[in-house]
């Protein structure tokens, strides 16, 4: 017999027809707009998130944003994204870019395609920022274009998701 409770729980796992994009921001990015504008620009995290959610609405996609200063909370959010059938992730792992095998493992385990974004050009900065634990798993990396980098990543995600067939695989491009 199906109880009310179990049918509600089952409904939660049904993939949504609306493409779902999760934007993840790592530690200290809540400070954007207040300090270090030379590296990170003047936009606040709220400015960035509002623009991304608005663009998603226009395109008929659901864009959710999440910032946390703790590694475990970011990992839990990635696990949640898998349970919610999120289609695409845009992630700025911030300082964890250069340190976190655990965050890398979470993204690898969920197998949700993702673009890695950095506001600053990590290759033009200190040598310890030149290595990322994420780039080889990412569909692509945007680094050094400021807040615009997130918008470009979202445009890519929307295009990528539009090209999906109803079964989730990608349409192949026609040769000319």
In angstroms, what is the C-alpha Rg of the chain?
17
Answer for which of 20, 49, 65, 120 binds ligand CA2 (CB under 6 A) is: 120
In the Cβ-directed half-sphere of 154, how many Cα atoms lie within 13 Å?
Answer: 28
Q: Which of 96, 118, 133, 150 is catalytic?
A: 118
Answer for which of 9, 31, 73, 109 binds ligand CA2 (CB under 6 A) is: 31
**Catalytic residue at 123?**
no
> Comparing C-alpha atoms, which of 163, 175, 161, 174 is closest to residue 16?
161
Q: Based on CB atoms, which residue is closest to ligand CA2, 33 or 62?
A: 33
Q: Is 35 in the site for ligand CA2 (CB under 6 A)?
A: yes
Interacting residues with ligand CA2 between 72 and 111 (CB under 6 A) = 92, 94-95, 97
Answer for which of 118, 157, 158, 161 binds ligand CA2 (CB under 6 A) is: 118
Burial call 4-21: b when 16+ CB within 10 Å, e when fewer = eeeeeeeeeeeeeeebbb
CB 52 within 8 A of CB 25: no
Answer for which of 22, 24, 32, 106 binds ligand CA2 (CB under 6 A) is: 32
Q: Which of 40, 96, 133, 150 is catalytic?
A: 40
Q: How many residues does the chain have?
A: 176
**Catalytic residue at 40?**
yes
Alpha helices by DSSP H, listed for the chain, are 4-12, 37-40, 45-59, 71-83, 101-110, 148-162
CB of 158 to ligand CA2, least distance (A): 21
> Which residues in this chain contact ligand CA2 in the complex, by CB under 6 A?
28-29, 31-32, 35-36, 40, 92, 94-95, 97, 118-120, 122, 129
Please give the positions annotated as active site: 40, 118
């Amino acid at each position: 017999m199906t109880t009310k409770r179990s049918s509600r729980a089952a409904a939660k796992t049904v993939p949504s027809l609306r493409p779902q994009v999760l934007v993840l921001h790592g530690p200290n990015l809540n400070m954007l707009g207040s300090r270090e504008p030379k590296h990170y620009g003047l936009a606040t995290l709220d400015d960035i998130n509002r623009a991304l959610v608005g663009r998603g609405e226009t395109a008929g996609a659901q864009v959710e944003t999440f910032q946390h200063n703790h590694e475990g909370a970011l990992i839990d959010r990635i696990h949640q994204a898998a349970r919610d059938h999120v289609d695409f992730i845009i992630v700025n792992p911030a300082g964890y870019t250069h340190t976190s095998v655990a965050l890398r493992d979470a993204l690898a385990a969920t197998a949700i395609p993702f673009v890695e974004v950095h506001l600053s050009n990590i290759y033009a900065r200190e040598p310890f920022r030149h290595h990322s634990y994420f780039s080889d798993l990412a569909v692509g990396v945007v680094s050094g274009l400021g807040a615009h980098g997130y918008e470009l990543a979202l445009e890519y995600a929307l295009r990528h998701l539009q090209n999906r067939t109803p079964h989730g695989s990608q349409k192949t491009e026609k040769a000319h």
